[in-house]
Amino acid sequence: MKIRPPLDLAKLRVRPLSERRSLTRAEDILLAPDSTPSNLSPTQLEAINNSPQRIREARKCDASVMLIYGAHLLRNGAAQIIEKLLAHGWITHLATNGAGSIHDWEYAWCGASTEGVEENVATGTFGSWHETATCIHIALMCGALEGLGYGASLGRFISENGTFVPAAADLATALAAQPHHPLSAARADLLHALHSGHLTSGPFPMEHRFPHASILAAAWRHQVPATIHPGIGYDIISNHPIFSGSVLGRAGEADFKSFAGSVEGLDGGVVLSVGSAVMGPQVFEKTMSCVNNLRLQEGRPVVKGHSIDVVDLQDGGDWDWSVGEPPKTNPAYYLRFCKSFSRMGAPMRYLQCDNAAFIHNLLHALQAP
């Protein structure tokens, strides 16, 4: 068997975003929070109207209210709606996947995102956009020097229109003087990027002309934790010579721990999983186990009293999830976004609904007297 060498990403040719045909524009998709929400069926509205009281009760007892969302919630124009939920203190934690962060940055910087996957893979250009990968990596590398995770680093980068890159000499001095420092690996990654010519020291200005289209920037402004849970090779920022698994892994590790911290505060709280078919259930079940592990060691009870609302466009497999999960012989058993959450020690309500329509109607229900 012939063993082939790994691909040399340093040879990738990347292009400026100005050359990409973007399929969506921020100003076309953004929903005004105070506009009339989309009409929903009586069943859908009844399900949504059950949520505000549980959210209010959770906030009265300072319990977590976590919104886990897929990238399509952003792409469907919900950024300013979520900003309003943050401003009122109704959401205490946001979490999304790597794609959610990429679209977030692109909308904030150039006001456009998404591309034709089939056509661009065929020409080898899919995802190979210089500014997207470069800016996200720089944001994460510089944020790591201050102990920030993925979401906070990128949210700050957008809000502050760039960052400052330390001098290579200063990084090298710090590494030599404190080789066992917790930030040594982060310093080494940034030093390597400088030596590789991917960036230069000093101010790195990057004007974001559409910050109102960014959920991460809103979270940074309101100081609400926003965590990103990426996968290595899942996201287009892998398609660039600057790609660093260690940079993404470090930022993702910090955000996993931050997410778990919010799960620790979930007694009597609320989980909203909106359009997150894979990341949300997978990350949540691991963090729930970590939290319960530590609690039991300390003689405390496991997380309890919380509720979980799962929203997706897919149907629920024609199964009543309120009675538990179906048998393995039923196709609904393989709906991860329902099955995993149904195992998390709390009532799980599934609602088949458009994600932006759900969050828009939820905001209006929370604002109702």
pLDDT, tens digit, 9 for 90 and up, residues 303-319: 999 999 999 998 888 88
**Residues 266-283, mean pLDDT to the nearest whole number:** 97
Q: Which of 242, 235, 7 is nearest to 102 (CA)?
A: 235
| pLDDT score for 323 | 85
**C-alpha–C-alpha distance, residues 61 and 93, integer Å:** 16
**Average confidence (pLDDT) over 121-126:** 96
Mean local confidence (pLDDT), 144-173: 98
pLDDT of residue 369 exceeding 90, the answer is no
The three-point CA angle 100-102-108 to 5° equals 100
> What's the rounded Cα separation, in Å, for the pair 26 and 106?
9
336/89: higher pLDDT: 89
Mean pLDDT of 324-340: 91
Calpha distance 181→175 (Å, rounded): 8
| Residue 322's pLDDT band (cuts 50, 70, 90) | confident
Main-chain dihedrals φ then ψ at residue 34, nearest 5 degrees:
-90, 0
Give the start-to-end residue ranges of the domains of the chain: 40-113+125-367
pLDDT at position 283 is 98
DSSP per residue over 27-85, as a string?
HHHPPPTTSPPPP--HHHHHHHHTHHHHHHHHHHTT--EEEEE-HHHHHTT-HHHHHHH
Contact 97, 232 (CB under 8 A): no
CA 312, CA 70: separation in Å to the nearest integer? 10
Q: In the numeric block, which tokens belong to residue 332?
A: 């609904």
**Contact between residue 126 and residue 13 where contact means Cβ atoms under 8 Å apart:** no
Per DSSP, 158 falls in state: H
* pLDDT for the residue numbered 125: 95
Q: What percent of the chain has pLDDT over 70?
A: 100
Rg (CA), the chain: 21
Mean pLDDT computed over 154-161: 98
pLDDT of 211 reads: 97
Is 90 exceeded by the pLDDT of residue 324? no
- Average pLDDT over the chain reads 96
Q: What is the pLDDT of residue 163?
A: 98
Instruction: Kindly report the backbone phi and psi dihedral angles of residue 231, in degrees, each rounded to the nearest multiple of 5, phi listed first.
Output: -125, 140
Residue-wise pLDDT tens digits, 218-242: 999 999 999 999 999 999 999 999 9
Residue percentage of the chain with pLDDT more than 90: 94
* The architecture CATH gives domain 40-113+125-367: 3-Layer(aba) Sandwich (3.40)
**Average pLDDT of the residues in 263-270:** 98
Q: Give mean pLDDT, residues 340-353.
A: 94
Supply the pLDDT for residue 228.
Answer: 98
pLDDT band at 321 (very low <50, low <70, confident <90, very high): confident
Give the relative orientation of helices 98-110 and 215-222 as an angle to the nearest 10 degrees: 90
| Cα three-residue angle 158-266-101, rounded to 5 degrees | 20
User: Which tens digits make up the pLDDT trace of 179-221?
Assistant: 999 999 999 999 999 999 989 999 999 999 999 999 999 999 9
pTM exceeds 0.75: yes
Say whether 209 sits in a helix, a strand or coil. Answer: coil
Q: Is the confidence at residue 21, as pLDDT, over 90?
A: yes
- Residue 54 corresponds to which amino acid? R
What whole-number distance in Å separates Cα of residue 354 and Cα of residue 199? 41
